[in-house]
Amino acid sequence: MENEDSQATETLGLGARKFTHAGYGFLGLNVAYLAIAMIFIPPFNLGLSAVLSLVAFLLLLGVLTYYLLKGKKRLAQILAIIYGARSIFSAYSLMDVSTFQAVPYLLPCLLITFYLLGRAGWDWP
């Protein structure tokens, strides 16, 4: 009986750890993605709408990170599908000459985020 309880606790701890990695990895890699994209974007007027969009993006990241840290498996699965599709599209766009110059630097962020979310959503190793 004791062995079953300790095994259940260990499994629960591993699952919670996967969601912790997914949550903080999601937040960190999206902030890195934003920083890399901002480096490659041509100079523009940082008006009120740009600042509000940036704040909305960061708030959305915060909310999604919060729910990932709470262990929402369905959210992790949906985000993993979205990031998998984005990764495939970015890899495909590398073949085009007119693609955004930052794509080779942004693609690893997408792939790592996809893996972390899939690991939490479908118990990947």
Pairwise pLDDT comparison (114 vs 125), residue with the higher score: 114
- Residue 2 pLDDT more than 80? no
Token pair 């729910």: residue: 67
**pLDDT tens column, 12-52:** 577 789 999 999 999 999 999 999 988 888 877 778 888 89
pLDDT of residue 47: 84
**pLDDT value, residue 12:** 55
* Structure confidence by residue, pLDDT tens digits, 52-111: 998 999 999 999 999 999 999 999 999 999 999 999 999 998 888 888 888 889 999 999
Q: What is the pLDDT of residue 8?
A: 43
Contact, 122 vs 113, CB < 8 A? no
CB atoms within 10 A of CB 57: 13
Which pLDDT does position 89 carry in this prediction? 93
Report how far apart, in Å, the C-alpha atoms of 51 and of each of 36, 64, 80 are: 17, 20, 28
Residue 50, phi then psi, degrees to nearest 5: -70, -40
| Overall pTM > 0.85 | no
